[in-house]
Every structure is written in C-alpha cells, then in structure tokens.
Amino acid sequence: MAFLFNWAEVEPDEYAMTTTDGSIVDLGERNYLRIDGNGDEDSVEFRRDATSMIALGEFLSEAPKHDITIASFRNFIHYPLMVNWYGDLHAPHERFQMRMKQPNFMPNEAVTAAIDQLRGKIPVVGDVTYERFKEGLEAQVSQTGLATPELVERLQMFIGNSPFVIEHGDDWHRELYLNDVSTLPQSQWQIILRQQISVADPVAARNFPIITN
C-alpha cells in the first residue's frame, strides 16, 4: 500500500487536541488555499465556503485520479480548515479569511486545474486563491465545541503566565477545525484557538518549549 501522509500522525504537536492547558507554536511559510467571507459560524456563507474548501481539498488530495499530473505527488489526507476571524473575541464574528494548507509539492497549476474542473458543480471555488502564508509565533489551546469565553480566558491566562504577549490585541484570532464543520453539529467541532504573540522576556523565552514546523 502506498504511503499516506496524515497530518494528524506526522505533525501531531501542531494539531493537538490535547493542548487544553496551552502551548506555543512557531509556524513558517506554507502553501494555502484561501477564500474570504462575511458572517459568523452560523452564517450561510461560512457553511457554504467551508463545504466548498473541504471539497476542493479532497479533490486535490486525489489529483492523479482527476488527470491532474503533479511531480513528486504523495498520497495525503487534506489538511484542516484554518479561519482568521475578525472582530472582538467576546462578540459575534464579523468576517473571515478561510484557509487550507497544502503540501509543498502542490503547484499553482494543479490548483487552477482542480478549480476549473469543480467550478461547474461548486461555483464558489472560483473565488479561491492560492498563496504563501506565514502564521508565525502563536499561543494555542483546544476544546470540543465552539470557542467560548472560558476558552478565550484560558488562552489569555496561559499567555499571561508565559514570557510572551498578544501581538495585535484581540480584534482577530485564528481557529483550526480538525474535523468536518460542514457536516457535524457545532457541539462536536474539534477546535484549536490560536492568538499571535511576540516575545516579552527574551531570556525566559529561550527556555520555553516551542513547537516549530
């Protein structure tokens, strides 16, 4: 059986649902599908875009089956959705940037070919772009179900007890959804909440555990 790249097994620390007490990640520049929208988790636009991005991600993970040739292609499970939410953490979300990471071997031409094939069935994929994006240094916590004020407080307390500080205030944050938010009820969503941070105490930060990828 051909090797299957599974992000949950190969990169477990970056996508850990066990990080309930908080951890730090430092994530470099990678390839991402991206689509922008308005509304919160209950909005029609969010559900539509999530469904479309997951469909495109699954399609690209089976690119050779769709006559899309990719040099050095390896079988992989599509990555989770990652959403930048804009708006106060303690208020309903206003708008979003939705992304899905892609393997390093995925060329722009393959993404374009996949979008062209899917456009007739899923028109919104025509709005998807392909970009390089760097998450950078972030603090994260996880839980099952929607992000709650308690989860936000837990993340902020973790940062407050670390040698780091929140980088841009709380007018935006990042959420990863490790399972299928297009089909599952919100109570079952597996969420990792992330906030961009910077170093406040360089000496202490050197000895602080950081997950890099």
DSSP secondary structure letters along 150-204 = HHHHHHHHHHHTTTEEESSTTSEEEEEE-S-TTTS-GGG-EEEEEEEEEES-HHH
User: What CATH number does the domain located at 16-212 have?
Assistant: 3.20.80.10
Q: Which residues contact residue 123 at a Cβ distance below 8 angstroms, ignoring those fewer than 6 apart? A: none
Q: Please determine, for residue 158, whether its predicted confidence score (pLDDT) is greater than 90.
A: yes
| 2-16, 86-100, 118-132, 165-179: range with highest mean pLDDT | 118-132
Q: Quick: pLDDT tens for 44-91.
A: 999 999 999 999 999 999 999 999 999 999 999 999 999 999 876 666
- What pLDDT is recorded for position 170? 58
Q: Please determine, for residue 1, whether its predicted confidence score (pLDDT) is greater than 60.
A: no
- What pLDDT is recorded for position 29? 96
